[in-house]
């Protein structure tokens, strides 16, 4: 219970503060866009690069973690797509987005701040950063290719693949940790002035990212399809962490902390990148917005429970 008070309450408190400020219109869309840009382009990349550059490579590239976490994502994605087709007669594009909504964790804006608060940057950032790269590279790539193959935009698969590659090369949440891993692999030390600057910028990442989530939620509304949103939420917040845990203890055994990390990251609510993809292709846009809102609210309970179980076992260090 103390872990919930010490970690979950402050994390969700900042999200609620952002939601409240957005609701009373103290900050509007322009301020929200500026804050998101700062987090996306400056603060989170600084945090990720510094963390990866100062962590030995063998502590970052955990193949069993990748197998368990990505396996859970893909399993739930497949279940979500099949259920969407069976229950709602969804076409291929809608089924793809239903699966993506069920399996895509908010590792960047929520997972990284949560892990820094719960486990400290030294211990918490490697698994959260690795999961963020998996989400940005593998999962967005699968979604875009799938939507192109279903003929949702008519741009063609080769152009889609090219656009995905270009987008990844421009994505600071992919580029920063990859550069950091390369820096660590080369055995280079980060100069003291750079450490100070990056630490100051990275320190702003967690509160600003959480506040930005609240601002985003303030502009969303629930309209229709609550039953559909409900079963996607159950898949995301219950079945994905259960499947990930099963893979971690059977097929991809890891040390206890990395197992706990895979489960908690799998239990995060649906990430906002799903909404970006939905808007880009004009598929499942309104329901995706509703899924993100409901997932984030319900995750207050599920994540608090997981933190109560795992956080006391791995104090920040």
Residue 61: what pLDDT? 82
What's the confidence (pLDDT) of residue 154? 53
Mean pLDDT of 220-233: 80
Give 189: exposed, middle or buried? Use CB within 10 Å, 0-12, 13-18, 19+: exposed
Highest mean pLDDT among 58-62, 224-228, 266-270: 266-270
Of 148, 149, 85, 170, which is closest to residue 281 (Cα–Cα)?
A: 148
Please spell the DSSP secondary structure of 172-187, one letter per residue. Answer: HHHHHHHHHHHHHHTT
How far CA 180 is from CA of 46, 134, 135, 184, in Å, comes to 10, 16, 18, 6
> Residue 234 pLDDT > 80, yes or no?
yes
Label residue 54 exposed, middle or buried (CB < 10 Å: 0-12, 13-18, 19+).
middle
Domain boundaries, the chain: 2-311
pLDDT at 56: 84
Q: Give exposure, 151-174, as e/b (b: 16+ Cβ within 10 Å).
A: ebbeeeeeebeeebeeebeebbbb
Q: How many CA atoms lie within 13 A of 292 on its CB side?
A: 28
Give residue-wise pLDDT tens across range 158-208: 776 777 677 777 778 778 888 988 998 998 999 999 999 999 998 888 888
Average pLDDT, integer, range 93-101? 93
Please provide the DSSP assignment of 105-163 as one string: B-IIIIIHHHHHHHHHHHHHHHHHHHHHHHIIIIIHHHHHHHHHHTTSS-S-HHHHHHH
Q: In this model, does residue 152 exceed pLDDT 60?
A: no
What CATH number labels 2-311? 1.20.1530.20
What is the pTM assigned to this prediction?
A: 0.84
């Amino acid at each position: 219970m103390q872990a919930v008070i010490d970690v979950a309450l402050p994390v969700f408190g900042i999200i609620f503060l952002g939601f409240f400020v957005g609701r009373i219109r103290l900050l509007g869309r322009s301020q929200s866009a500026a804050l998101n840009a700062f987090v996306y382009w400056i603060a989170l990349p600084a945090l990720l690069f510094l963390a990866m550059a100062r962590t030995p490579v063998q502590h970052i590239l955990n193949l069993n973690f990748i197998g368990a976490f990505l396996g859970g994502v893909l399993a739930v994605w497949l279940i979500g797509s099949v259920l969407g087709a069976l229950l709602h007669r969804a076409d291929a594009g809608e089924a793809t987005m239903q699966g993506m909504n069920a399996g895509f964790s908010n590792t960047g804006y929520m997972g990284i701040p949560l892990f820094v608060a719960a486990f400290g940057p030294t211990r918490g950032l490697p698994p959260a950063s690795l999961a963020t790269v998996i989400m940005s590279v593998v999962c967005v790539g699968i979604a875009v290719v799938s939507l192109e193959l279903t003929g949702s935009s008519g741009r063609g698969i080769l152009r889609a693949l090219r656009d995905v590659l270009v987008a990844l090369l421009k994505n600071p949440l992919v580029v920063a940790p990859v550069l950091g891993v390369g820096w660590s692999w080369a055995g280079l030390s980060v100069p003291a002035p750079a450490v100070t600057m990056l630490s100051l910028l990275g320190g702003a990442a967690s509160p600003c990212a959480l506040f930005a989530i609240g601002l985003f939620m303030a502009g969303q509304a629930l309209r229709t399809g609550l039953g559909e949103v409900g079963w996607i939420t159950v898949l995301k917040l219950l079945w994905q962490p259960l499947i990930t845990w099963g893979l971690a203890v059977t097929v991809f055994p890891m040390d206890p902390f990395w197992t706990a990390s895979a489960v908690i990251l799998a239990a995060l609510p649906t990430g906002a990148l799903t909404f970006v993809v939905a808007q880009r292709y004009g598929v499942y846009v309104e329901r995706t917005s509703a899924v993100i809102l409901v997932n984030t609210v319900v995750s207050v309970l599920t994540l608090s429970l997981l933190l109560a179980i795992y956080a006391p076992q791995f104090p920040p260090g």
